[in-house]
Amino acid sequence: MHLTHKVGNPNAQWHLIIENTGGKAVRIKSISLVFTKESGKSFELPAQNYLRTADATENVMLTPFRLAPGQEWAHVLTFFTLFSRDDDKEYRLLESAIRSEIISQKEDPANKEKLCEADPQSVQRLLTFFERQFKWEPGEYAAELKVVTDTPKANLSQHFRFSLFESESKELRAYTEGYRYGAGVYWVSPAQPGLLVPVHEK
């Protein structure tokens, strides 16, 4: 499973193969992952989009789909929650401030080739926002895969486990170091690739 975050907001990517082994067509209504830490705290990430092909570079929105008997559906799914209305409003303001502060410095020809930084106060406000959103703390995790269909008896619930080590959690936290340059805020940084963690069935 691939784990990352958008300014703290957790994201997961997972390649899933779903097959209809029954004798009737079934409609897949939703797919989600519920993560539970050893402390008992849990959070749910719904699947929002997927890669149509293995070499695709852009995601397609996940909508309900139908599987005929014997049909298989295999894709890389991305799981995340959308910001709440208030969080989204706050984030947009923070992102806009960081972008405009950096771009305004780039207007000076002397800074054209420099890596310009946003105002420290704007960066600190973004870091405070990050701390509220961040969930990939180190520890043991249980992950429940939930597939909801239009036929309740066909619903699926499978349980898995994985470990997130302290060094891995620190690596994800370290992405905040690029926020002052706008990396991971308004432009994608190759220095923030996320983590691949092995997942085991319980």
The enclosing domain of 47 has a CATH number of: 2.60.40.1890
Domain membership of residue 42 (yes or no) is yes
Domain membership of residue 97 (yes or no) is no
For the four alpha carbons of 83, 12, 137 and 171, in that order, the dihedral sign comes to negative
Under-70 pLDDT residues of the chain:
none
Domain membership of residue 96 (yes or no) is no
- In angstroms, rounded to a whole number, what is the distance separating the alpha carbons of residues 184 and 122? 15
Domain membership of residue 92 (yes or no) is no
The confidence score (pLDDT) of residue 117 equals 96
The confidence score (pLDDT) of residue 54 equals 79
Print the domain residue range for 16: 2-82+135-201
Domain membership of residue 49 (yes or no) is yes
CA-CA distances (angstroms) from residue 152 to 22, 28, 94, 147, 156? Answer: 13, 11, 43, 10, 9
- In angstroms, rounded to a whole number, what is the distance separating the alpha carbons of residues 199 and 50? 19
Domain membership of residue 184 (yes or no) is yes
Q: Residue 128: CB partners within 8 Å, gap ≥ 6?
A: none
**Considering its fold, how many domains does the chain have in total?**
1
The confidence score (pLDDT) of residue 57 equals 84
Domain membership of residue 51 (yes or no) is yes
Domain membership of residue 119 (yes or no) is no
